[in-house]
């Protein structure tokens, strides 16, 4: 059974940093692309960033490019998102997702999410 | 990126009725890379449909997807109580985008 468990969310001041982690289990982590998708309070879904199975290819939404960095440790089955220069509009629940093996950006499995609140 | 517009914003229906949700893309979606997700309050989204018309694993056959190019539809044949939720369409690829969602509520 695929399991994705996010951690690292919390309250941070504008301009601050936070690192999210996602522990993956139940599948061969290193062969699947992974992504972070966020959802602002009472809002819709927004894709944030993605990474290939090997970690060599990364993708970012324009809204976070240059501020967020996605990475993965295939030896520990862990996905990470380093968030710097946080803004109020980054406040959201952040979901870790497993992409389909064949279709980049299609999110077959989701974690339960971790809440990031950016406020002074 | 492909902009997706969903309609209506809210659909008020009774259990047993048929639901028809629309998703329109500002430009043609290549290879029918269009998915639908269901989200219930307090839960993560769940993949329902991919490739515009293929059901994901474990999804009941009362859910069906159709369309191509710029116009796509999600149909729920007979609404069950557990189907009242928010539904999102999504274009997938290297720069995924979502529609704003349609809420299906109990009338």
pLDDT band at A28 (very low <50, low <70, confident <90, very high): very high
Say if residue A42's pLDDT is above 90.
no
- The pLDDT tens digits for B5-16 are 999 999 999 999
Provide the shortest C-alpha distance from residue A67 to chain B (in Å): 17
DSSP labels, A73-109: ETTTTEEEEEE-S--GGG-EEEEEEEEPSSSTT-EEE
**B interface toward A at CB cutoff 8 Å?**
33, 35, 37, 43-47, 50, 56, 88, 90, 92-101
Q: How many CB atoms lie within 10 A of CB A61?
A: 19
Q: Are A107 and B93 within 8 A, CB to CB?
A: no
Work out how many CB contacts closer than 8 A connect A with B: 60
pLDDT higher than threshold 90 for residue B94: no
* Separation in Å, CA B37 to CA A13, A65, B100: 32, 26, 12
Q: Is the predicted pLDDT of residue A27 greater than 90, yes or no?
A: yes
Q: Which residue of B has its CA nearest to A50?
A: B94
Given an 8 Å threshold on Cβ–Cβ distance, is B33 in contact with A61?
Answer: no
Confidence of residue A68 (pLDDT cuts 50, 70, 90): very high
Residues 6+ away with beta carbon under 8 Å from B33? A103, A105, A106, B51, B91, B92, B93
For residue B66, the model assigns a pLDDT of 97
**What radius of gyration do chain B's Cα atoms show?**
13
What pLDDT is attached to residue A46?
Answer: 97
User: Residue B45: closest CA among chain A residues belongs to which residue?
Assistant: A110
Contact A107 B45 (CB under 8 A): yes
């Amino acid at each position: 059974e695929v399991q994705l468990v996010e951690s690292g969310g919390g309250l941070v001041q504008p301009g601050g940093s936070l690192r999210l982690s996602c522990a993956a289990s139940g599948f061969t982590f290193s062969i699947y692309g992974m992504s972070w998708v966020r959802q602002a309070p009472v809002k819709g879904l927004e894709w944030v960033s993605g990474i290939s199975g090997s970690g060599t290819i990364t993708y970012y939404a324009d809204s976070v490019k240059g501020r967020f960095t996605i990475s993965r440790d295939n030896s520990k089955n862990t996905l990470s998102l380093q968030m710097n220069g946080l803004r109020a509009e980054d406040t959201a629940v952040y979901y870790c997702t497993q992409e389909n093996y064949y279709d980049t950006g299609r999110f077959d499995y989701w974690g339960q999410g971790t809440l990031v609140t950016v406020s002074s | 990126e492909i902009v997706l517009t969903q309609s209506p914003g809210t659909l008020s229906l009774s259990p047993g009725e048929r639901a028809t949700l629309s998703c329109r893309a500002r430009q043609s979606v290549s290879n029918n890379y269009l998915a639908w997700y269901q989200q219930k309050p307090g839960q993560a989204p769940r993949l329902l449909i991919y490739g515009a018309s293929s059901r994901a694993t474990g999804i009941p056959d009362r859910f069906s997807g159709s369309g191509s190019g710029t116009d796509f539809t999600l149909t729920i044949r007979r609404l069950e109580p557990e189907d009242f939720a928010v539904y999102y369409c999504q274009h997938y690829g290297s720069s995924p985008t979502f529609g704003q969602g349609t809420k299906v509520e109990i009338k």
